[in-house]
Structure 1
Amino acid sequence: MKISCKLILGTVQFGLNYGVNNKLGQMSILEAHEILDLALKSGVKTLDTAAAYGSSERVIGDFIKSKGHNPFNIITKLALKEGRTWGNSLQSSYTDLGVEKIDALMFHSYKDYVNTKGQLQELLDSQKGKGFNKLGVSVYTNEELAAVATDEHIDLVQAPFNLLDNDSLRSEALRKCKEHNKEVHTRSAYLQGLFFMDVKDLPERLKPLRKELGVIHDISKAADISIGALALSYALSKPYIDGVLIGVDSLNQLEQNLQWAHTENLESYFEMMDNLKVKEVSLLNPVNWN
């Protein structure tokens, strides 16, 4: 598989000001469209969005309209808060995207998946193969991965994976998903930009990660590559991962990510990352940063 085909472009930044290290804010529609153009030209054919990502779906829909056809495989996630049903959330996504069918529909959380289980058959009967090809769940924990892995109705799982939330923490759970014929996508390759921050500038809540982040910076220097190249190449190197989600704040960042994705000869450094173990595992989930 070509590396660019394994990349998935996350689009939360199209619709929201997102990321602990994002200093640019929400991007303009023009820049979002430039990013989508470059992604296409570079062989990145899959987009990850969500009904909850502000105007992201509408921005993508405007791009699709300008092209006259949909050139992407689109993954979107249901918004089931504030009394919304899967039906009106999905219809809203189709309308905003300007499409009649997407590649994959996901539950935005394991909780949403559990709460909608009683309606799963209705969702599948009315929409699978017609409105979407694959049904997935976005999860955080290995326990959630294990529960979803055995559900024959679920085709796709998305979970965190990165230099800290790494092989030692995730490989067993992700391999189990593969054994049950699930497509595996991972997100948080840069842990919302945390890896790029100077260790001295860490917020108080994240200071327990100083030692492990220091190790990552040391390995980056030893390998004579950037933190970004190390982080992205690490996730892309794993055979049990089918797609790696990246988010970018600018066109330059996408160009940089595409370069990082083709970094080679890092296997010995990947072994070091495999063995790096975080004590404060709860801090690997950004939900716990506030």
Structure 2
Amino acid sequence: MRLALGGVQFGTNYGVSNRHGQPSQRKVAEILTLAQDSNIEVIDTAIAYGNSEQVLGELVDITKKFEIITKLPPLKKKKFSPADCAYYSELLDLSYQKLQTKKLSGLLFHSADDILKEGNEELLQKIHNLKKTKRLVKSGVSLYSQGSYSKLLNNPLVELVQIPYNCFDTFFSSSGYLQKFKERNIEVHARSSFLQGLLLMDLQDIPKYFLPWLDKLALFSQVASELSLSNLELALSYVVKEPNIDKLVIGVNDVKELEQVTQAYNKALDVEHNRLPNLSSLDPKLINPAHWQLD
């Protein structure tokens, strides 16, 4: 299945539409069991996702049946020092320990610039050695829309990229990057298919911050109605229609949500994609949650 399970909810209170907080260990176990039964094979987590790695590691009897991807936190400096490389190496070793695994399917730099920064040679050698000893399958980067990534396309360590992609944010398709990734056999995972749940919210529940885009959100709901789809089914339809996206990373807070997503995913596969209107936006204040001001 092309669906992958996001782990940010397992370690933080994540999502603009999340009213339930971080799920309990029991709920995470239930989610993972259903994910396995649904042929979902990949879990995406990160060092920055609170205690997500720890939670997953404590459920090793389940998680050992999945491919696990994690991410290194951004370096908030222009270049790496030897101390930075040593610290990041320790963080990486700690991820293996927390996850109780000897092998990771993927390791991403949460900030793509970090893979190119001066002084990172020792850290890159560490990653190379992990791959050489079969403890790491693929390395890569997490990307953000409206960036320039030409320097990454031929970087041998960029074998996997994670991108935001949804009905409003189609930058990686319109810019041609999805095709370029495909040509270079770079695996692509898409996140933010629901814009942190914004696309799934009833219009009357949308935070005041989004009022400038209320017409656009209303249009999304109108299209769903016209196509006899739920908002969830429509949101997934915009992602599954892209053949160059290998995995859709989705986050859920309980078993019921995962059941709804898998059912909607199967329906989205049958949607006539030429009936989906272009809803793209270039406004970073809408499509990039880093710009949201919800307080």
> What is the correspondence of 1:16-165 to structure 2 with a 5 Å cutoff?
16-64=12-60, 66-67=61-62, 70-80=64-74, 85-115=87-117, 118-119=120-121, 121-130=124-133, 131-165=135-169
| Bigger proportion of residues as helix | 1
Could you tell me which residue of structure 2 aligns to residue 218 of structure 1?
Answer: 222
Root-mean-square deviation (CA, aligned residues, Å) is 2.2
Shift of 1:105: 0.5
Q: Cα distance, 1:234 vs. partner? A: 2.3
Question: Does structure 1 residue 285 correspond to structure 2 residue 281?
Answer: no
Q: TM-score, normalised by structure 1?
A: 0.89
Q: CA deviation at 1:85?
A: 2.9
Task: Give the share of equivalent positions with the same residue, in percent.
Answer: 37
Structure 2 stretches of 5 or more lacking a match?
Answer: 77-83
Q: CA deviation at 1:170?
A: 4.2
Aligned residues: 282
Distance (Å, rounded) in 2 between the aligned partners of 1:145 and 1:235 = 21
When normalised by structure 2's length, the TM-score is: 0.88
The 1-side partners of 2:221 and 2:72 are apart by 37
Greater shift, 243-252 or 280-289, is seen at 280-289
AA of the residue aligned to 2:52: S
Does the 8 Å contact 1:20/1:192 carry over to 2? Answer: yes
Among 253, 256, 280, the alignment partner of 2:257 is 253
Deviation string 1:21-80 (CA, Å, 9 cap, x unpaired) is 00000000000011001101110010000111111111111111x35x811110001135
Number of the residue aligned with 1:232: 236
Give the corresponding residue for 1:271: 276
Given residue 33 of structure 1, which amino acid in structure 2 is its aligned partner? A
Alpha-carbon contact 1:161-1:170 (below 8 Å) kept: no
In 2, Cα distance between the equivalents of 1:60 and 1:145?
32
Quote the Cα distance in structure 1 between the aligned partners of 2:255 and 2:8.
14
Aligned mate of 2:184, from 180, 190, 203: 180
- Structure 1 residues 239 and 63: CA distance shift in structure 2, 3 A: same
With 240-249 and 171-180 compared, the bigger mean Cα shift is at 171-180
Deviates more, 1:87-96 or 1:261-270: 261-270
